[in-house]
Every structure is written in structure tokens, then in C-alpha cells.
């Protein structure tokens, strides 16, 4: 499974096999049970997580008590409360496993040491965050410019894996719908 992590790194920067063997020492392998939490709102955000296997979600609780999912992470995706991690503060989000998962976790201090020892990893993280930021910008555009139905259809087109892996109520939360509305959209398009 580490091969997928190594391949991911090599997509963005030059790292040889000896360096990869050293890099991995900065990470902890964590096995997470379904519904187990890696981070709970109000806890200090000490780690950044790379998904080797499984599916995670990040959410917060709105004033009305309803969960609002802001991010999913599947294989080869990173997930953390970025602001809290960078500032080593309490998180405003919870990260939970949707499926039994395996993740690599790196602490803030370990990441800083790794970046000092392997400056090319700065490029890796820059590229990863550029892609993530671009995706966030597009999501904001869709929320403000597309109908709810168009948002679902686009999401289904570009992220079909989530439709099979994520429970419908979670997908609805992420897209900003009620589960009932999502069901109506799905029925409408499956009937065509």
C-alpha cells in the first residue's frame, strides 16, 4: 500500500527510493475502524492524514445541530483541518472514517523536520495544495452559479466513485441538499 503513497509523491517531485525509505519514517500508519474519529472538533489538530485505503469525511455541526460535510478523502487524498494544523490550534472540524481505513499520519513537528531534510517535499506539498485550492475554488463557483441539480450531475460525472461509497445522506450534506431532495434528483435522472 505504501507504493501508492510513493507513486503519489513521485507524480509531483523527484525523490529516489532511498529518500522514500527515509521519508516514510516521519509517518505513522494508522488503521481506523468505520465511524472512528481521527480528529474531534475542539481537539488540537496535531496531524495531517494521507489516505492509503478507505474513505474519510470532514464535517462540523451547524447551529441547528445538523452535520455539514465539507470534504471527503479517498485513496491518495490528504485531509486535515488545514488552518488548525498550520497554527497548531483547536480544530473546528471532526474527521471520521466512513469505511474501515488505513492512513499515514504526520505530525506538524515531523512534517517540519521532514521538509528541512527533504526540501523537494516543499514542492510536493505545494502542488498538492494548489490542486486542492483549485478544487475548492470550483466548488465555491458551483455553489454560487449552478442549480442544485447541476451541482449533483457535475459531481456524479467527475467523482463517480463517491456515489457508490458514500451514504446518500452524507453526499446530500456535502452538496448542501436534504437527503430527500437528492433522492428526487437521482430518481429523475435514473428514470431517463
Query: For the segment 99-154, what is each residue's pLDDT rounded down to a tens digit?
Result: 999 999 999 999 999 999 999 999 999 999 999 999 889 888 888 898 888 888 88
Task: Tell me the mean pLDDT in the region 46-75.
Answer: 95
Query: For a pLDDT cut of 70, what percent of the chain falls above it?
Result: 98
pLDDT of the residue at 192: 52
- For 167-182, how does the pLDDT look when each residue is reduced to its tens digit (9 = 90+)? 999 999 998 888 898 8
Label residue 17 exposed, middle or buried (CB < 10 Å: 0-12, 13-18, 19+).
exposed
Predicted TM-score (pTM) of this structure: 0.92
Amino acid at each position: 500500500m505504501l507504493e501508492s503513497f510513493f507513486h503519489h509523491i513521485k507524480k509531483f517531485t523527484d525523490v529516489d527510493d532511498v529518500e522514500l525509505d527515509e521519508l516514510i519514517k516521519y509517518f505513522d500508519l494508522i488503521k481506523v475502524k468505520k465511524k472512528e474519529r481521527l480528529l474531534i472538533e475542539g481537539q488540537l489538530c496535531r496531524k495531517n492524514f494521507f489516505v492509503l485505503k478507505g474513505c474519510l469525511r470532514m464535517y462540523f455541526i451547524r447551529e441547528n445541530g445538523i452535520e455539514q460535510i465539507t470534504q471527503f478523502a479517498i485513496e491518495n487524498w490528504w485531509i486535515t483541518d488545514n488552518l488548525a494544523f498550520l497554527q497548531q490550534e483547536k480544530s473546528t472540524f471532526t474527521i471520521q472514517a466512513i469505511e474501515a481505513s488505513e492512513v499515514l499520519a504526520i505530525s506538524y513537528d515531523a512534517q517540519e523536520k521532514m521538509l528541512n531534510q527533504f526540501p523537494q517535499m516543499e514542492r510536493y506539498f505545494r502542488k498538492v495544495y494548489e490542486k486542492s485550492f483549485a478544487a475548492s475554488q470550483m466548488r465555491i463557483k458551483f455553489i454560487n452559479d449552478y442549480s442544485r441539480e447541476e451541482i449533483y450531475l457535475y459531481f456524479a460525472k467527475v467523482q463517480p466513485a463517491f456515489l457508490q461509497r458514500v451514504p446518500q445522506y452524507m453526499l446530500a450534506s456535502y452538496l448542501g441538499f436534504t437527503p430527500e431532495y437528492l433522492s428526487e434528483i437521482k430518481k429523475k435522472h435514473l428514470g431517463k
